[in-house]
Amino acid sequence: MAMLASPEGRVVDEQALDRSTFVLGTELPAISVIGLGYVGAVSMACLSHLGFRMVGVDVSFEKVRAISEGRSPIVEARLGELLAAGVAGRLISATQNLVAAVIDTDVTFMSVGTPTAKDGGCDYTYVRQASRAIGQALALKTSRHVIVMRCSVPPGTTLDVVVPEIEAASGKKLGRDFGVCFNPEFLREGVAVADFFAPPKTVVGTSDPQTAAAVASIYKAVDENVIFTSIEAAEMVKYADNVWHATKVAFGNEVGRLCKSLGIDSHDVMDIFVKDKKLNLSPYYLKPGFAFGGSCLPKEVRAVSHIAKLQGVNLPLVDSLMVTNDAHIAEAVRLLEPHHGKRIGFLGVTFKPDTDDLRESPTIELMARLLAMGTTISAFDPNLDFGPLLRGQIDYVKHASPTQAELMDKLESLIVTDAEELLANCDVVVVSHATAAFRAAVAHRPAGVHVLDLARLSRDLPDDETYEGIAW
């Protein structure tokens, strides 16, 4: 079998696939693929190239015939060539008989369409039909089967739609009789074959280690670093990816429209933009936390919106940023509503840790809203020193709004000397800085003190009903 080179030059040695590791048996598993569209046809071709025996299923006679004859049903580079080789090597067959295909194989990949429903949600028609048919096949099987869900679906679909349909039609039980995982598809149409052999990532969501190992072993030759997660997180990551891609396209195009109106070459701008791998194309700013603030982001977002209006350029994405930021602050207020009338303490006041900059701090805005509602508040921030320099900033912040002006007048009197004093004198603590000192203080807080965590103090959330996060 040939070696395949990815566009990035990565060479994949298919011989490296260890045939003995597949947990369902000593041989490579046979795989059925339900739905021979853009996703399913590529799976058929590429997995057959890795040596798997593939059985394709579609309701479309034309697609079944094309695959059976080794022809690509879609325009996709290298697909026809790999399908033809698979058919010639007797590793590819196709049928309209879903039940027979499932019975004849060990693993089933489901890649039927999930179009938009009339209400804007997901149309489950094809997923339900295919799941029921898989169940009918499992009713006739004695050996354990693995179902690999590849359709893009709302989180919860695999466990709440696919599994119940299979169980009802088969009379069998998830875990005991069959395994299920969600394995999102990240390949780009046009270069899907190349992406298959050098994937951006391989994600397997499952609650069952046996299924996880089985699916990981299928991908071993192309990706040894499979990311395992829950089924719901795997479902969600696919949506997050595509919404992010859409956001990037919309952002680039908004920058482009504004640049054009200003006579600036947008590609000059974005070529420089993408060179920044530290802040621009990086995990920075992408982890959920509290609202953005500080002396730059809100000011510059407003400035760009303003320039666009003067230029007569419509930038809905940029215009929405302050709206979504405000919604995040409003969410913190909402989460504190059940604690109305209680004393609320704030750990962290400045717009981020390790600075004394109060300008446009979202915590200041949150404190101001609560104060205006008559809430008893106090705060501690190790970087606030009420000297002449801070007074200048306080005067500046006063101009933001009447509620922030009221807070600024009282701020010094609300500040306590340390985190322990704050925690000893509040019923709810709101943490906006993920520092080691605040993490320790919160962990050792007096019994009964509730926490609203705006900063994700720790990766692993405490199993504690007095602890709530803003976006996790």
Catalytic sites, residue numbers = 296
Site string for ligand NAD, 97-126 (x = CB under 6 A): -x------------xxxx-----------x
Give SS3 for 305. Answer: helix
Stretch of residues binding ligand NAD (CB under 6 A), selected from 145-153, 286-294, 357-365, 425-433: 145-153
Closest-approach residue to ligand NAD (CB): 37
Which of 12, 55, 57, 218 binds ligand NAD (CB under 6 A)? It is 57
Q: Yes or no: say if 35 and 126 are a contact pair by the CB < 8 Å rule.
A: yes
Neighbour tally for 25: CB within 10 Å: 13
Q: What's the min distance (Å) between Cβ of 151 and ligand NAD? A: 3
Instruction: Give the whole-angstrom CA distance, residue 339 versus residue 341.
Output: 6
Is residue 182 within the footprint of ligand NAD (CB under 6 A)?
A: no
| 220 class by beta-carbon count within 10 Å (0-12 exposed, 13-18 middle, 19+ buried) | middle
Q: Total residues contacting ligand NAD (rule CB under 6 A)?
A: 25
Give the C-alpha separation, 371 to 221, whole Å: 59
Q: Contact between 347 and ligand NAD (CB under 6 A)?
A: no
Nearest-approach distance from CB 138 to ligand NAD, in angstroms: 15
Which among 57-65, 250-258, 291-299, 434-442 is the span making contact with ligand NAD, rule CB under 6 A?
A: 57-65
Quick check: 40 binds ligand NAD (CB under 6 A)?
yes
Among 49, 53, 63, 145, binds ligand NAD (CB under 6 A): 63
Quick one: which segment of 36-44, 245-253, 266-274, 283-291 binds ligand NAD (CB under 6 A)? 36-44
70 binds ligand NAD (CB under 6 A): no
Shortest spacing between CB 132 and ligand NAD, in angstroms? 9
Kindly state whether residue 148 participates in binding ligand NAD, applying the rule CB under 6 A: no
**Rounded-to-integer distance, Cα 135 and Cα 162, Å:** 10
The angle subtended at Cα 42 by Cα 41 and Cα 47, nearest 5°, is 105
> Residue 415 has what DSSP assignment?
B
Contact pick of 39, 204, 344, 384 for ligand NAD (by CB under 6 A): 39
Instruction: Provide the H-helix boundaries in 316-432.
Output: 316-336, 362-372, 388-398, 402-414, 419-424
- Residue count of the chain, please give it: 472
Q: Three-state DSSP class for 75?
A: coil
Sign of the alpha-carbon torsion through 236, 237, 242, 246: positive
Instruction: Give the C-alpha separation, 340 to 13, whole Å.
Output: 62
- Is residue 214 part of the contact set for ligand NAD (CB under 6 A)? no
Instruction: Provide the minimum distance between the beta carbon of 242 and ligand NAD in the complex, in angstroms, as a whole number.
Output: 8
Q: Which residues bind ligand NAD (CB under 6 A)?
A: 34-40, 57-60, 63, 98, 111-114, 126, 129-130, 150-152, 185, 189
